[in-house]
Structure 1
């Protein structure tokens, strides 16, 4: 860091290059922040297992949970979370002045399962793109709900008649259409202005698990289905799909907008993006690339201009089997060097950070401390707990958020990642900041301090023994 500052002060590095280098370093140094906890107020006992396969008996400890039943979804402008028990909670992230110190967040407001909110587990949450005063949620109860952030009250509710797995809104469009992926094979479009289900996009042959609007073209929508296909739609067209992505196609022949002899777009009905269900879609914020994830344990990057598979390989470490939407996102273009954007992927119990275009693994983010194997609530009931990540959200230093691959808060990336887990926790991941040597020593473990003391004592003994001897020169 000192070398970078020197290069910047002497003019060898321009301000943009300096900012990119520093941001890349911060993104690569993200680490768990166990000092930041979320307490939803539910009481009970956590059943902890120190190590996987350990012969030691599980230990019981008073637990703290954001949602004791499990956290299914989160979204950030202000942080809202949705639980497996259909509860919704609003959190104030500004209540922590210094993320390096211990802090327990308390919910500002909460809505339990019942008439005021959802009846079944929440599947996805997102903030209204142009105003943090409203957010959206979908649920297994077949409803899409619009909420007021300030009062945590429902402003509108839309029943779609099928389980809703995901939803998305365009970050740039004037229209207020919400694209919903449901158990039904059509993509449902809900107009928040009229409150009507205005359009159904037919083409998929099975449930739709992922939807994502282009951040460049306001009428372009991508959807992924259990049938293994990714379809590209222009919602102004009545003719259906304008393109299908094909994993065997590195030229983009099936997504180039060319018309066949019958006057329809050239697509191949057998084209599939993945060999299994597609449950993750995200655009880069410049709209140049679309990223998809599927149950075939593959992540694919597609050239948005041609629909070509860029053939980026992310290796065999990808885990993906959940029947629900995967919330991955990419770092905004401009904060890293060109074509060096990073992809953040929730890999079951860890977060993998990849170079988007090369597929190279940059770092793994793993939780520290003993794992919670089960939860015993205050009424005595018990359940097993999984640490699987259900959602990711980014919060920039200026308070802006990024969720499901959509940038909301500009390009200031010196912030934090928040992850939702089925064990009931919301966990924070923050960059490791360089500090004075004495500050680093204060953060060391007692074992590290003892090792250093022993080394210093050994050096002192050697020095004293040498100084105690008389040295003569001939």
Structure 2
């Protein structure tokens, strides 16, 4: 804490003397905040459920956790945060329920607060019947959000009233969906158990197009934030295809992990005028279940069950060969939510990737892959394997996806990360701010001391038990 305070003083001195400009100063400050995220257990989400029950022991016995509140009793499977004010958070449970949370309930972010849902949509015949797989907000207005489920449906909801506005049956399990953040066409790209990508038009209310080409279920979909008609999709066949939905054939390229030049994506047409696609090109050697773009559209990030994360030049389609090492874990047959820090918050080429690594969040350098920091829950949640992270969302200083470059950490929980867990909880993570007390550090040290004391006592008991027995040799 003293070290960070000294650094801040030096930065202020250099800024006041004109040694560094305002943009550099802002980037240094926000980079420091991005690197200092920590658990915020004082913020809890109580969905009105009883304390969760964790299966403990080889016999599968159930041990209830005392004094624990949960957002969804059966586990939280999806999160979505509206991008304008960053105020409304929607969560979806494995029990098919939906809950809407107002993050402005917390009047003073320096004090502990328990959030309660402002609306709940329980499982029913009119709502979803099975677990929620993905959530997103309407692209240009937080008044509506979308949900998909294992019950084969895509549904549109009114945020204010938590009422159903429209429902689309897609005929197979829906793993994910995506809405373009910039397009006016209002097409929802749905990844389902069927190998063709389904495009649903929210204006006409119809399934207007299917993009065929993948050889298996679609686990990841993501629209370009720069080109409104460009879509990336990932499948269990290990391929990532790039589509231009205006083309008759649709696909314009495939990402190839062996291609560091981007020849098969950038060279779109051969002399005969046909799209040149190599069928054997694979982005991963296992199912692809994660796709995202940097918010300037310059890079595509993909993740697969081969425990690899790859970064691609979006203009050329080339593999940048960024290496994220052996610490990546990825085994769920579902879409993985990951995001990059907004361009402008850090120096160019120093963007960060936030990756849900089973029971922890890894903060990684996007371009060279090294681990910047690891975010782990405190207390019991850190010691159990039953709290796998199913979704993460980012709350910037001006909203969920703001890239305005404004320093994080204002009075409204700006600059926070929220994570959904299969133990039923929603957890908050906030950057450490200048002037904060060392209470959290003292608490973590106290927990570590208690843990060491327990281990020491267990060893002492074993030792005394052995020494108290009479041993004879025959």
TM-score interval, smaller chain: 0.7 to 0.9
**How far 1:444 sits from its partner (Å)?**
2.8
**2:52–2:70 Cα contact (<8 Å) kept:** no
The secondary structure found in structure 2 opposite 1:61 is coil
Which residues of 2 match residues 53-64 of structure 1 at below 5 A? Answer: 60-64=65-69
Aligned to 2:438: 440
Specify which of 146, 160, 184 is matched with residue 150 of structure 1: 160
**How far 1:441 sits from its partner (Å)?**
6.1
Which residues of 2 match residues 37-436 of structure 1 at below 5 A? Answer: 37-44=44-51, 46-47=53-54, 60-77=65-82, 78-371=88-381, 386-398=386-398, 400-401=399-400, 407-408=401-402, 410-412=404-406, 414=408, 415-435=415-435
Inter-partner Cα distance in structure 1 for 2:174 and 2:276: 31
Inter-partner Cα distance in structure 1 for 2:283 and 2:327: 19
Inter-partner Cα distance in structure 1 for 2:52 and 2:132: 24
**How far 1:47 sits from its partner (Å)?**
4.4
Cα distance change, pair 233–334 in 1 and its aligned pair in 2 (3 A): same
Per-residue CA deviation, residues 1-60 of structure 1 (Å, 9 max, x unaligned), is: 1111111111111111011000000000000011111000012454497xx99xxx9674
Alignment gaps of 5+ in structure 2: 1-7, 83-87, 409-414, 450-474
Specify which of 4, 7, 23 is matched with residue 14 of structure 2: 7
**1:122–1:137 Cα contact (<8 Å) kept:** yes
**2:74–2:424 Cα contact (<8 Å) kept:** yes
Cα distance change, pair 131–441 in 1 and its aligned pair in 2 (3 A): closer
Inter-partner Cα distance in structure 1 for 2:81 and 2:403: 10
**How far 1:229 sits from its partner (Å)?**
0.2
Inter-partner Cα distance in structure 2 for 1:442 and 1:142: 44
Alignment gaps of 5+ in structure 1: 375-384, 402-406, 452-474
**How far 1:103 sits from its partner (Å)?**
0.8
**How far 1:434 sits from its partner (Å)?**
1.6
Inter-partner Cα distance in structure 1 for 2:326 and 2:163: 44
Per-residue CA deviation, residues 365-392 of structure 1 (Å, 9 max, x unaligned), is: 0000013999xxxxxxxxxx82111101
Cα distance change, pair 109–239 in 1 and its aligned pair in 2 (3 A): same
Aligned to 1:458: none
The secondary structure found in structure 1 opposite 2:228 is coil
The secondary structure found in structure 2 opposite 1:198 is strand
Inter-partner Cα distance in structure 2 for 1:441 and 1:426: 22
**How far 1:156 sits from its partner (Å)?**
0.7
Inter-partner Cα distance in structure 2 for 1:46 and 1:412: 41
Inter-partner Cα distance in structure 2 for 1:45 and 1:170: 36
User: TM-score scaled to structure 1, two decimals?
Assistant: 0.86
Cα distance change, pair 199–408 in 1 and its aligned pair in 2 (3 A): farther
Cα distance change, pair 239–372 in 1 and its aligned pair in 2 (3 A): same
The secondary structure found in structure 1 opposite 2:118 is strand
**1:72–1:83 Cα contact (<8 Å) kept:** yes
User: TM-score scaled to structure 2, two decimals?
Assistant: 0.86
The secondary structure found in structure 2 opposite 1:211 is strand
Inter-partner Cα distance in structure 1 for 2:68 and 2:441: 25
Give the structure with higher Rg (CA).
1
Cα distance change, pair 410–122 in 1 and its aligned pair in 2 (3 A): farther
**2:232–2:241 Cα contact (<8 Å) kept:** yes
Aligned to 1:460: none
**How far 1:257 sits from its partner (Å)?**
3.7
The secondary structure found in structure 1 opposite 2:301 is strand
Inter-partner Cα distance in structure 2 for 1:225 and 1:132: 30
Please, what is the CA RMSD of the aligned residues?
A: 2.2
**2:342–2:403 Cα contact (<8 Å) kept:** no
Cα distance change, pair 148–108 in 1 and its aligned pair in 2 (3 A): same
Inter-partner Cα distance in structure 2 for 1:442 and 1:216: 41
Displaced runs of 4 or more, over 6 A: none
